[in-house]
Amino acid sequence: MIIISDVVKSYGNAGNKNQVLRGISLRIADGDFVVILGASGSGKSTLLNVISGLEPPDKGSVVYGTSDITKLSDEKLTQFRKDNIGFIFQQYYLLPNMTVEKNVRMGADLIGNREYRKMINAVGLADKAGKYPSELSGGEQQRVSVARALAKKPKALFLDEPIGALDEQTGRQVLDYICGLHKEAGFTMVMVTHNQNIAEMANTVVKMNSGKVSEVYTNKTRKNAYEIGW
Ligand SMILES: Nc1ncnc2c1ncn2[C@@H]1O[C@H](COP(=O)(O)OP(=O)(O)O)[C@@H](O)[C@H]1O
Ligand SMILES: [Mg+2]
């Protein structure tokens, strides 16, 4: 369980303060697939960054099991993130001078996981392992970043608009890979999107509006990546 309590975060200085998260409380069950849905500028990315320990909140706590990550030293937080958290961004952030295999291995090496090849296979890139990011399509690059994030076997995977840069066919394929891996491995998955259709794939939907949670609901039936509207 991840328990987020009364999280507040602002940007800017005293004279020109922009309160981006205005008191967010949320519980995320282990193994759940949560979509955080909201318009652009509603604070989704900021919330994801705070939950995953990328950015500290001004106030409030983020507790994984029994550890409050907002109270950890920088060093301990870095270790916590290495041990527990995977992150996938809209931009793939692959290392351009490393092959697919090396990019994924970097993720796996963090915990000495030698099964990185399995992850490359799992995202359908076995035949591209020796290629460089510039030799791949956008969808293939995002699949590399999925493999890299999962190669270290995170307990929680965070995704910020993971298919925002992809066309429909590729977007559906990447979502399908991600959901297949989630089903198989059972990590906790929190995905940010402004796309209502994608929310129909989640188990739990958290709606955000102007820095607040406006609604939380569970989908009675869930659609797969090929059933949702686009
Ligand atoms: N690093 C930052 N510095 C200053 N303002 C920021 C920063 N990150 C986000 N913001 C502001 O916070 C608000 C919410 O941004 P964000 O969390 O990225 O929203 P979303 O992901 O829902 O589009 C926006 O008004 C944005 O301009
Ligand atoms: Mg965003």
* The predicted structure's pLDDT at residue 113: 66
* The predicted structure's pLDDT at residue 30: 98
State the Cα–Cα distance between residues 137 and 57, nearest whole angstrom: 36
- Per-residue confidence band for 14, with pLDDT thresholds at 50, 70 and 90: confident
State the Cα–Cα distance between residues 180 and 160, nearest whole angstrom: 18
Higher pLDDT, 116 or 46: 46
Distance 20 CA to ligand 1 centre (A): 7
State the Cα–Cα distance between residues 170 and 92, nearest whole angstrom: 14
What single-letter amino acid sits at 83? Answer: D
DSSP string, the chain: -EEEEEEEEEES-GGG-EEEEEEEEEEE-TT-EEEEEE-TTSSHHHHHHHHTTSS--SEEEEEETTEEGGGS-HHHHHHHHHHHEEEE-SS----TTS-HHHHHHHHHHTTT--THHHHHHHTT-GGGTT--GGGS-HHHHHHHHHHHHHHT--SEEEEESTTTTS-HHHHHHHHHHHHHHHHHH--EEEEEES-HHHHTT-SEEEEEETTEEEEEEE-SS---TTTS--
Q: What is the pLDDT of residues 166-211, one digit of tens each?
A: 999 999 999 999 999 999 999 999 999 999 999 999 999 999 999 9
Distance 148 CA to ligand 1 centre (A): 26
pLDDT averaged over the chain? 94
36 touches 191 (CB < 8 A)? yes
Q: What is the pLDDT of residues 26-62, one digit of tens each?
A: 999 999 999 999 999 999 999 999 999 999 999 999 9
Tell me which ligand sits closest to the C-alpha of residue 40.
Answer: 1
Tell me which ligand sits closest to the C-alpha of residue 16.
Answer: 1
Distance 48 CA to ligand 2 centre (A): 9
Residue 108 pLDDT > 70, yes or no?
Answer: no
Mean pLDDT to the nearest integer, 90-118:
84
Q: What percent of the chain has pLDDT over 70?
A: 97
* The predicted structure's pLDDT at residue 111: 62
Q: What is the pLDDT of residues 203-229, one digit of tens each?
A: 999 999 999 999 999 999 999 999 999
Mean pLDDT to the nearest integer, 14-31:
95
Ligand 1 atom nearest 48 alpha carbon: 17
Residues with CB under 6 A from ligand 1: 11, 18, 20, 38, 40-46
Q: In terms of CATH, what superfamily is 2-218?
A: P-loop containing nucleotide triphosphate hydrolases (3.40.50.300)
